[in-house]
Structure 1
Amino acid sequence: MLHQYFPLQSEARSHMNEKWKECERYVSHVLAFNERYCKLSEQITLTLSCDFIKLLYCCAWYLFERGRFDLSFSIVGSVESAYGRADLLDHGLLLADLYSLQADMYNKLTQADKAVKFAMRSLKIKEKAVPIKVLDKHHPQLANSYIDIGVFIAGTNPRGAIRLHEKAIMIREGSPKYVDDQMQLLSLNYMNIGQCWWMVKELDKATVVYQKILDIIRALEEVTGAPLNSMTSWAMSVLANVLIDQGKFDAAFDLYTQSMKVHQQVLGITHYKTAACYNKIAWFLRKEGEYEMAIRYLRLSLMVHTHKHAIDTRPEIARTKYQLSEVLYHVGQIEEGGRLETEAQQLRFQLVGKSPGEDESQEAYDELVAYFYL
């Protein structure tokens, strides 16, 4: 049943989040499938098909994108175990997929070193597969490894990340063979380059890139017939960042509001990516003196991050508590504001060793959070 109905990952290994409505019906079956496989594999020697292993892999990818990191890691362990016992003769390409998935998971857990390690393992397998004609030199999966590493190093080396993203784009645009399979991934490539140009304050270059992204997304929406997707919401969000730096606050607020609404519709109101929108909306509301509304959004963000037990959300919690404490001070709630500020300082000390009052500002707390959540 799962193999027939659960959406499988595309050849290009693009994000599966547009298929959530289909996937969500089968989560209980996915978990039961993995549990029964684990129990049975302890009792007898199983002969495993490639389709069986790929199905487990697709289930793990979906759960990861849904924010179910603990379950995804569990299933990835099952897939690696299954792969090790099966003789697939695929030159390690499915193993490379598993490494890429784990790299993405560690990146979301803000463990960049582990993310780069797994991404490099994946890239080495793919690079070895190209000369022996097992993997096309323009295959999306090869480009994916370069964009992955670019994303993982962007926080510390944005210009190096730009070079990797440009290499990925050269692979993607080097052949028309895979155009229809990777429109989403091509827009993601440009999205990350634009983000890096914004980080190094090359705002004109960032704006040009974001316009390119919106053109690709419009074409993607025409192909899929889906006007709302997570790529649209992220494009709005990152373009709003540029508009803020250009002093265009009203236009930026409109984009952030639209981005938040799309996040809520596509990902849900309690997804960790949606919660990042609440922090930015609260920033605008505080700037306009709408303190009570800002407090409501920040409490919602704090609730989401506090209940994500499967991942380390201390950076997000620290940022949100500090941001909330500043707003509470403005409305005279000194006691709660002081308590939250102290808790934020303690978390920041745990994360980066900075003592209370040392280089302390909202920007300093923003730096705790992965750049793609800013």
Structure 2
Amino acid sequence: MSLYLRAFANLRKKALLTINDKEEINVHRLVQAVTWDSMNEQQRKSSFNTVLQLLVRKFPKETNGRQMWQKWPRCERLLPHVLFLLGMFCDHFPKGHKCAQLAELLGHCTWFLFESGHFGQVAKLVETLESTCPEQQKEILAKAIFIRAGLCADNNRVKEADLLIKQCIELREQDLDSNSPDLCNAYYSAGIISMECGRHGESLNYHNKEIAGRNACGDDDQTQTAVAFQNLALLYLKQNLVDDAEKNLNKAIEIFRASSGANSDRYAEVLFDMGNLHLSQNNITDGLKIHQEALQIREKITPRHFKTGFSFHKVAAILCRMRNHSEAKKHIERALQIFESTWDSAPRVARASFLYGQVLEQMGEHKRAEGAHLEAARLRESITTFPTVKTETMDSYDLLVNSWFRWRSCCTIMMLSA
């Protein structure tokens, strides 16, 4: 013990080891490399397994299919350790080597990254997760497929998402009870994806399965049940059943306010949908107010998340409609900043660039507007993951993102109020 303490003190003295204000120990990479190189193979495996077991215990886990956003800070602190460990695994184990505990850890880590919108890292990690996961760990394999389906769905690759979510459901139905929260999650994703594919009857069936499952499993704080109502509202809104959509959104808002709170990511998400519903009724003032509230929450909790970008985009579109072009410009510029740093950004950036051009045009900045429109067209041309409509209108650019992110466009609102 005394040798350890002396070594610890010497490393701190030479700034090769530091302790931050959270009492986390940071070891210089040189020390890590020298220590690792000095180990024999058995010591390396033992060290790897020790760290792996520790991270499996300490990395936050989603429970009963709920979001982890309240645990994001802890996840972010542990993420570098997971990635470092993964690097060691890839360097020192043969490709295709199976490791059940590593797959379990990557499952939790990848879910956090997906939930927090770090799609670039998700795309890389989910492949490693699948390759390291033993075949008998169907639950983890299903999670990997579920995450890939979500990744595709949120990036408008609905045909890919449709195939993946069905694979996930098949695995989970084989392995889980009908009222399992994880199976319910797969049902709600399938409901949203089939809605986007235009299969509304199938979508309704999945949503009803989800709600029945939530009721059967006992959703203690009702958070996931609220998600079910929210998703059902999207289906009703898609079918222009506005009253039914509003009833379900109000149920979701009431539950979220009582469970996750009025400053949560989930609450902001349902506000976004409610704002869109008001816009669909040409209630511009209330729609703007609700979207601004959603944006305020998102900007505080998830400032770089692509959904925050969508909130900036939506508020910009409404402000453009209200001829507040200077504020619209500020908001769409913030949306562009966020979108440009996201994975598979071309569809979102193209759409935002076109709106940016529209705003600049209204402000008399014709040359810059032309540049923004040309950039939008160039980016749209680069998209190969789904078919695009090649017309220079806001409505056609809106089709570059999922319906639940757009609903009524600025142009559509203008037509409604004409």
Is TM (by shorter chain) over 0.5? yes
Seen in structure 2, the aligned counterparts of structure 1 residues 350 and 218 have a Cα distance that, compared at 3 Å, is same
Are the equivalent residues in 1 in contact too, given 2:56–2:104 (CA < 8 A)?
A: no
Superposition map of 1:1-374 within 5 A: 1-10=54-63, 12-42=64-94, 48-49=99-100, 51-84=101-134, 88=136, 92-129=138-175, 135-157=176-198, 159-160=200-201, 161-173=203-215, 175=216, 177-180=217-220, 183-221=222-260, 226-268=261-303, 270-308=304-342, 311-351=343-383, 352=387, 354-355=389-390, 358=391, 360-374=392-406
Are the equivalent residues in 2 in contact too, given 1:158–1:199 (CA < 8 A)?
A: no
State how far apart, in whole Å, the 2-side matches of 1:157 and 1:272 are: 25
Partner SS, residue 259 of structure 2: helix
Seen in structure 2, the aligned counterparts of structure 1 residues 304 and 178 have a Cα distance that, compared at 3 Å, is same
Seen in structure 2, the aligned counterparts of structure 1 residues 44 and 116 have a Cα distance that, compared at 3 Å, is closer
Seen in structure 2, the aligned counterparts of structure 1 residues 159 and 25 have a Cα distance that, compared at 3 Å, is same
TM-score normalised per structure 2: 0.78
Partner SS, residue 317 of structure 1: helix
Partner SS, residue 289 of structure 1: coil
Q: CA RMSD in A?
A: 2.2
Q: Which amino acid aligns with 1:62?
A: F
Are the equivalent residues in 2 in contact too, given 1:210–1:235 (CA < 8 A)?
A: yes
Are the equivalent residues in 1 in contact too, given 2:126–2:144 (CA < 8 A)?
A: yes
Q: Which amino acid aligns with 1:193?
A: L
Are the equivalent residues in 2 in contact too, given 1:38–1:78 (CA < 8 A)?
A: no
Partner SS, residue 212 of structure 2: helix
State how far apart, in whole Å, the 2-side matches of 1:274 and 1:73 are: 20
Q: Which amino acid aligns with 1:298?
A: I
Q: 1:350-371 CA distances to partner (integer Å, 9 max, x unpaired)? A: 544544xx4x422221121112
Seen in structure 2, the aligned counterparts of structure 1 residues 334 and 83 have a Cα distance that, compared at 3 Å, is same
Are the equivalent residues in 1 in contact too, given 2:309–2:335 (CA < 8 A)?
A: yes
Partner SS, residue 209 of structure 1: helix
Q: Which amino acid aligns with 1:70?
A: G
* Structure 1 residue runs without a partner (length 5+): 130-134
Q: 1:182-235 CA distances to partner (integer Å, 9 max, x unpaired)? A: x332222211111121122111011101111012212313xxxx5421110011
Q: 1:222-264 CA distances to partner (integer Å, 9 max, x unpaired)? A: xxxx542111001111111111122322221111111001111
Partner SS, residue 180 of structure 1: coil
Seen in structure 2, the aligned counterparts of structure 1 residues 323 and 205 have a Cα distance that, compared at 3 Å, is same
Q: 1:267-295 CA distances to partner (integer Å, 9 max, x unpaired)? A: 12x22110101111111222222211111
Are the equivalent residues in 1 in contact too, given 2:357–2:369 (CA < 8 A)?
A: yes
Seen in structure 2, the aligned counterparts of structure 1 residues 353 and 141 have a Cα distance that, compared at 3 Å, is closer
Are the equivalent residues in 2 in contact too, given 1:57–1:75 (CA < 8 A)?
A: no
Q: Which amino acid aligns with 1:365?
A: Y
State how far apart, in whole Å, the 1-side matches of 2:292 and 2:147 are: 31
- Bigger drift between 317-326 and 147-156 goes to 147-156
Fraction of identical pairs, as percent:
22
Q: 1:321-363 CA distances to partner (integer Å, 9 max, x unpaired)? A: 11111111111100010121122233334544544xx4x4222
State how far apart, in whole Å, the 2-side matches of 1:213 and 1:145 are: 19
- Per-residue deviation at 1:265? 1.4
State how far apart, in whole Å, the 2-side matches of 1:304 and 1:44 are: 35
Are the equivalent residues in 2 in contact too, given 1:8–1:55 (CA < 8 A)?
A: no
TM-score normalised per structure 1: 0.86
State how far apart, in whole Å, the 1-side matches of 2:258 and 2:388 are: 46
- Per-residue deviation at 1:44? 11
Q: Which amino acid aligns with 1:32?
A: F
Pairs aligned (count): 349
State how far apart, in whole Å, the 2-side matches of 1:219 and 1:77 are: 38
State how far apart, in whole Å, the 2-side matches of 1:191 and 1:233 are: 12
State how far apart, in whole Å, the 1-side matches of 2:61 and 2:309 are: 28
Are the equivalent residues in 2 in contact too, given 1:18–1:266 (CA < 8 A)?
A: no
Are the equivalent residues in 1 in contact too, given 2:155–2:402 (CA < 8 A)?
A: no
Partner SS, residue 133 of structure 2: helix
- Per-residue deviation at 1:312? 1.6
